[in-house]
Chain A
Amino acid sequence: MKARVFVRLKSEVLDPQGQAIESALKNLNENNIKNIRQGKLIEMDIEAKNVQEAKKSIEDITLKLLANTVIEDYKIEIE
């Protein structure tokens, strides 16, 4: 199975990279866009009996290493 973990800064944490992208877009006159947040996508293959099991393992490693929940939120996708 393919697993994807999306990690991004929590909404209450300042995201200067997101802000930089937003101001760059404003300079390009893209004024309809706001609240940009930049994050990262971590992809992997996983062997598991079913989606639930895969999701649980991925959640484990996410909490163990991939995301720092002091500052980051995460979302897991399995397919």
Chain B
Amino acid sequence: MEISIIRFPGTNCEVDTYNAVKKVLGITSKILSCKDTVIPKSDLIIIPGGFSYGDYLRSGAIAAREPIMSDLIKKAKNGVNILGICNGFQILTECNLLPGALLKNSTLKFISKITNIQITRNDTFFSKDYDKNQSVKIPVAHHDGNYFVDQETLRAIEENAQVAMRYAEPINGSLNNIAGLYNNSFNILGMMPHPERAIDNQTGSNDGIKLFQSMLKSMSL
């Protein structure tokens, strides 16, 4: 099982993500530099959280144009599974692998708290181990998590059941409380909550474990 984690300058969750994959799945993943032009063969590519390029200009905007991204986009279109967490989600929207954009929180403040999240479906690469409509607690920590997309696309996303998870109550102004989103072939998931920080009750929640286990199960099939 090959898992690659991409690090941009300013990424700051790559070690947490690496540790979570190691602790939960026993897999040693590769941390790649965004200056690489080719991603080695991977069953899963993770873009972790952080402030790539300081999130200057727009969150994720500069990272989305890095050399490694052309290969990532190519692999995504060939069906390789990609998980973008927080800044990773922002980067995936900036390179148009996911529709819409993440705006500043409507509160205009950074929001850091353990949040109630509803997992909408349990039949994807990323969600097999959850129950349908399961409520979970996962921390969020972001300034730009306010999901926006035009009405027409929003309707299409909903009809296609691409919403992966929703906040149980509005926290940042996201349309339809969207906290995580699939692309229309369901091999890409972008999510604002941090599953890698929810693998241990000692730190507040272990509800993220099932996300990692779902992915392992799917990769083993």
Contact = CB atoms under 8 A, between A and B. Distances in A.
Q: Do chains A and B touch in the complex (CB under 8 A)?
A: yes
Interface string A35-78: 00000000000000000000000000000111010110000000
Contacts of B62: 65
A71 B108 contact: no
Contacts of A13: 103, 148
A70 B93 contact: yes
B108 A16 contact: yes
Contacts of B106: 14, 16
Interface string B86-129: 00000001100001110111111000000000000000000000
Contacts of A16: 104-108, 173
A25 interface: no
Q: Is the interface of B mostly helix, strand, loop or mixed?
A: loop
Contacts of B61: 65, 68
A17 interface: yes
Contact of B57 (A9, A14, A65, A70): A65
Contacts of B173: 14, 16
Contacts of B99: 70
Q: Which range holds the interface residue count of chain B?
A: 20 to 34
B148 A71 contact: yes
Given A14-B106, A16-B108, A17-B108, A68 B148 contact: no
B101 A17 contact: no
A1 interface: no
A55 B114 CA distance: 47
B65 interface: yes
A76 to B, nearest CB: 16
A71 B65 contact: no
Contacts of A9: 103
A34 to B, nearest CB: 19
A20 B105 CA distance: 13
Contact of B108 (A20, A64, A68): A20
Given A16-B104, A70-B101, 8 more contacts: A9-B103, A13-B148, A16-B173, A17-B104, A65-B57, A65-B65, A70-B99, A70-B100
Interface of A: 9, 12-14, 16-17, 20, 64-66, 68, 70-71
Give me the 10 closest cross-chain CB pairs, A-B, nearest first. A71-B101, A70-B101, A16-B106, A16-B108, A68-B101, A68-B58, A71-B148, A13-B148, A65-B65, A20-B108
29 contacts: A9-B103, A12-B150, A13-B103, A13-B148, A14-B103, A14-B106, A14-B148, A16-B105, A16-B107, A16-B108, A16-B173, A17-B104, A17-B108, A20-B108, A64-B65, A65-B57, A65-B61, A65-B62, A65-B65, A68-B61, A68-B94, A70-B93, A70-B99, A70-B100, A70-B101, A70-B148, A70-B149, A70-B150, A71-B101
